[in-house]
Amino acid sequence: MEEKQIKYKTEETIATEGEWPVGDYKYKAWKHHEEFKEGLKEKKIVGSICSGCGRVYVPPAYICGRCFRWMEERTIVSDRGIITSFVLSNPMKKGMKILGMDPVDMGIVADGEVLIPCMVKFDGSDSFVQTILLNVDPKDAKVGMRVQVVWAKEPKGQLSDIEGVEPIK
Amino acid sequence: MQRKIAIVGYAQTHHEADPPNTREGMVFEVAKGALDKAGITREAIDTVINVSSDYQDGRTISNLFLVMAEGAYLKDESKVEMDGAFGVLYAMMRILSGTHDTAMVVGVTQGSIFSPHQISFYTLDPTFDRQIGLLNDVAAAAIQARMYKNKYDVSDEQIAMVSVKNLVNATSNPYAHRRIPKPTVKKVLNSKLYCDPIRELNISPISDGACALILASEEKAKEITDAPVWVKGVGNCQDSYLRDRNLLKLESLETAAKKAYKMAGVKDPPTELDVAEVTERFSHEELMIYEALGLCREGKGKILIETGVTERKGQTPVNPSGGALGADPVLATGLVRIVEAAKQIRGEAGKYQIQGVRQALAHGQTGLCAQSNIVFILGGER
Amino acid sequence: MMRRNVAIIGCGQTKHGRLRNVNTAEMISEAAWNAMEDAKVTPDEVEAIVVGNMQGFGGIYDTELWAGELFGAPKPFLRITTGGTTGGSVAHGGYYSVASGLHDVVLAVAWEKHSDSKERGATTGLAHVAMANMFHDLQQGASLKWLVSLVTGAAIGVSAFQASCYMYRSGCKVEHLDMVAAKDRRNAAKNEYAHLRWPNCTPEDIAKTEWVSYPLRFGHVCPASDGASAVVFAEEKIAKKKAERPAWIKSVAAYADEPNWLGENSQGTAITDLSEQLECIISAKEAYRRAGIKDPRKEIDMAEIYQPFPHQELMFSERLDLFDDGKAWIALEEGQTEIDGSMPLDPSGGVISTNAIGSSAMQRVLECALQIMGKAGKHQVPKDVKNAVAHGWGGSVNFTTVAVLGDSPRR
């Protein structure tokens, strides 16, 4: 074994380099997001509703585990709701590498911006959608805050049509 | 055993290469199917055991997103990450302990997500064998096959006869994946060579499939069904690592079988077993399995296959369903073997029903060259 | 039917930390052998072995296929892996193996070797819980900003959001999280096997650490440890022969809830309060009922709670019915949960001090057993421990393992 492959030695062991990339996976999914995205194109939020318990799942789910049945029906919920949870990131800085990208440099976030990932329960839904809280001072973010969706100017039928949510003024 | 336990319901998917169904969908299908077969609802199940693999599914905690689909919502549940038959053992333990009276075991693997042969690579010794990059499950099996052939003078033709038997049987099984119209020894010997002497038709196919079964204690079983399939005995054992064990004999299977026979009171397997459903990932493995199960002496597996003893019409039919060579949904395969054995006892095996089955054996395995084995002895009412 | 009584007759651990001087096989064997020695059993007397770890983290599939011979193979093995609850599930598996009557002496061993993974802090395996969902979402046109916000704000995953939910529900403040973290780091200093040990840690020390993402600070977060832990279960007659004070398993329960954080491929789930934890409430009720415990607040003497994040110690102590919903922080302020308090929580330092994921939930059972057996050394609680509850959580915080242990068999 070449010397440079030996990372370091202790009294009892040596540590060597090795890489085993696990490989390419081929996942299979339902078309729940297809349905969801079709709704987003029209600024509508689609959920599935269980004919047994009446619970509304957003984004749509196919199996209600409580009633143990398939959910055939769909419904539209409001694009207004409440924050049920949020966290604050540290301020973004230029040069910070996230997954190999520099988000400030790429213009994805502003320098010094604090990101607020949050959970939103839309009126009429029994589940949450995970998105970003926008247009609010991080100090003012609160669980229970009433918010509404910030829609993309021209929804294309993709998840980013929901740019985030902002407080209802 | 402290309590009598019976299989009271079951279901399996049609096993295929890459059907347009998610693992969630398959799990829901078999869980619901098993409940419908037993004629009970989800509320009657006390505990659920999931059998699935993180590496195969590409999801750490592979049972996380399957809770709802397998009917485990607000139920006492757990997961076994070995062949499905081991999951049945754990479910049995939960009922035997007295804490639960009914259990559902659901196993699923979609081999199309990630090749099980690649997964086998990760079971190798990481400090040495894996670094060399030559071994995987097929290569290891090829080494074992060659040792076995040399020691007992077994020919490729004799090994191919196992493939032919099981593939012919599979054509009668609507759930089987591989349904080749007229399997012959010649077709097997002409199939693509993987790792001499192992060819494509000597290896089980990579299937997407799921299987579920429901266990119940004696009292509950009698309430649920008129045709309970009793678990008369079980035994399991795991060998040492590939390079440290005797590859010429499936020693852990022999140990497991002996335990199961003892518990079930089976003294002479060839005459007392009416049918056996075993997991043969490679056709030569089935010959070694005959020997480990005590159906014949060491090295004499070839005689059983040549004389037709293990054919459907033979004295001890083995794998009338087609076995793993017919369909191999990886972790669900052992569960399928148990279900197929139960079907034989209940007379529900349709075109591949063996006549007069009162006692059956089911076998599952995990690990390179059948390193870990489990044997169930099932019996009907009489 | 007559139920078999099962007890833990021996415990064994390795020191937990960044273990670069052993490979996985050696690490598991060390814990297994320590447990067998403590139990005064030879490998031949052990009839079966139950194992578990989170396979994705160490890059070895079914480690015991390779390593088993070092601590028992050939022998019947059973592998149980359920995420964070793995160690607890393995312990339950060991219990059921003996309670079933199929075996009389069973070894249960659980481990994790995070440092073999290239990614720091075990993110490789943890990310894989959500990774399949994230790949899916990105292909559905999720924005890069969303991805960045998740990776920076919710790097620790669902627990960060859960802390936010819990603080809203209970009224507890970040200061209480500081207090829990400090207490547990002080306790860990008394535990020679723990990873992060800080003898005189104060809440102010914790408050000085930087935010990972509000409301969680670096001082609140568990380490990624390497380590293995093992216990030996035995049926009643053997237990009474082998151990002076066996730790009896009075009951186990492990209920599952709907995934708390979206379903497969990000389907919706009908959960909005991550701190509700129905599965823990039900597991506790069932475990107490099966154990014959009628009033846990009077009958349970201490608890080992699975708390990689401090709010979980408060939250789960409430769900385990040791305090009223939303009131655990008051007990904390009053010192009730200190190692010498009336309801000591995590005298071992808990998961926040030592987190070898596969092993962590087993350690909760092991630590309760040590306390009952009187073998917890410097972190032995000063009161008499007649009953203890060991807890674990896993999944997207929708799995639970609860075990009630006692100093006498259930009758």
Q: A29 CA to chain B: closest CA distance, Å?
A: 6
3-state secondary structure of A154: coil
Query: Predicted ipTM?
Result: 0.96
How do residues A149-168 score in pLDDT, each as one tens digit? 999 999 999 999 999 999 99
Q: Could you tell me the pLDDT band of residue A17, with boundaries at 50, 70 and 90?
A: low
- The DSSP string of B207-241 is -EEEEEEEEEEHHHHHHH-SS-EEEEEEEEEE---
B143 falls in which pLDDT band (50, 70, 90)?
Answer: very high
Which token pair is C28?
């598991």
Written as six digits, the tokens of C166 are: 């819990």
Is residue C134 very low, low, confident or very high in pLDDT (cuts 50, 70, 90)? confident
Residue among B198, B213, B174 at smallest CA distance from B92 = B213
First to last CA, chain A: 67
Distance CA A31, CA B242 (A): 43
CB contact under 8 A, C81 and B81: yes
Residue A25 clears pLDDT 90, i.e. is over it: no
Q: pLDDT by residue (tens digit) across B2-33? A: 899 999 999 999 999 999 999 999 999 999 99
pLDDT tens column, B322-362: 999 999 999 999 999 999 999 999 999 999 999 999 999 99
From CA C212, how far away is CA C105, in angstroms rounded? 45
Provide the pLDDT for residue A12: 63
**A158–C contact, CB cutoff 8 A:** yes
Task: Domain count for chain B, please give it.
Answer: 1
Per DSSP, the residues of A31-52 read SHHHHHHHHHHTT-EEEEE-TT
pLDDT at C205: 97
* B241 vs C contacts (CB less than 8 Å): 65-69, 73
Say how far apart CA C106 and CA A150 lie, in whole Å.
Answer: 58
Ramachandran category for residue C17: left, alpha or beta (phi over 0 → left; psi -120 to 50 → alpha):
left
Contact A18 B131 (CB under 8 A): yes
Query: With a CB-CB cutoff of 8 Å, which residues 9-68 of chain A face chain B?
Result: 18, 20, 22-30, 62-66, 68
pLDDT at C341 over 50: yes
pLDDT number for residue A70:
95
pLDDT for C411 equals: 72
Q: How far is A94 from chain C (nearest CA, A)?
A: 14
Q: Would you give the DSSP letter of residue B308?
A: T
- Secondary structure (DSSP) of C196-252: S--TT--HHHHHTSPEEEBTEEGGGSPP--EEEEEEEEEEHHHHHHH-SS-EEEEEE
Whether B53 maps to a domain, the answer reads: yes
Give me the pLDDT at residue B304, please: 97
What local confidence, expressed as pLDDT, does residue C137 receive? Answer: 84
Chain B interface mutation, best of C6, C82, C233, highest count of B Cβ atoms under 10 Å: C82
Q: What's the maximum distance between 2 C-alpha atoms anywhere in chain C?
A: 64
Q: Which residues contact C300 (CB under 8 A, 6 or more apart)?
A: C293, C322, C343, C387, C388, C389, C404
pLDDT band, residue C302 (cuts 50/70/90): very high
Categorize the per-residue pLDDT at C57 as very low, low, confident or very high, splitting at 50, 70 and 90: confident
d(CA C45, CA A77): 62
- DSSP per residue, C16-42: -B---SS-HHHHHHHHHHHHHHHHT--
Asked if residue B188 has pLDDT above 70, the reply is yes
Q: What are the pLDDT digits (tens) for A58-106?
A: 999 999 999 999 999 999 999 999 999 999 999 998 888 877 788 898 8
Q: What is the pLDDT of residue A18?
A: 58
Whether residues B252 and C255 touch (CB distance < 8 A) is answered with no
Pick from B32, B58, B71: CB nearest A27? B58
Range of the domain at B81: 5-115+208-224
B81: domain CATH number? 3.40.47.10
Q: What are the phi and psi torsion angles at B306 (to 5°)?
A: -70, -35
pLDDT band for position C147 (cuts 50, 70, 90)? confident
For C27, C268, C278, the CA distances from C140, given in Å and listed in that order, are 43, 15, 32
> What are the strands of the beta sheet with A56-57, ordered from one edge?
A56-57, A45-49, A73-77
Residue ranges of domains in chain C, CATH in brackets: 6-117+223-406 (3.40.47.10)
- Mean pLDDT confidence for C12-37: 95
pLDDT digits (tens, 9 = 90+) for B255-286: 999 999 999 999 999 999 999 999 999 999 99
CA distance C328 to C332: 6
Contact C114, C225 (CB under 8 A): yes
Q: How far is the C-alpha of B195 from the C-alpha of C159, rounded, in Å?
A: 48
Percent of chain C with pLDDT over 90: 82
Does pLDDT of C120 surpass 70? no
Cis ω on the peptide bond leading into residue C74 (within 30° of 0)? Answer: yes
Neighbours of chain B (3+ CB pairs under 8 A): A, C
Which residues 54-73 of A have a C-beta within 8 angstroms of C? Answer: 55-62, 65-66
Average pLDDT of the segment spanning A23-45: 88
| Range 159-178 of C in CB contact (< 8 A) with A | 160-165, 167-168
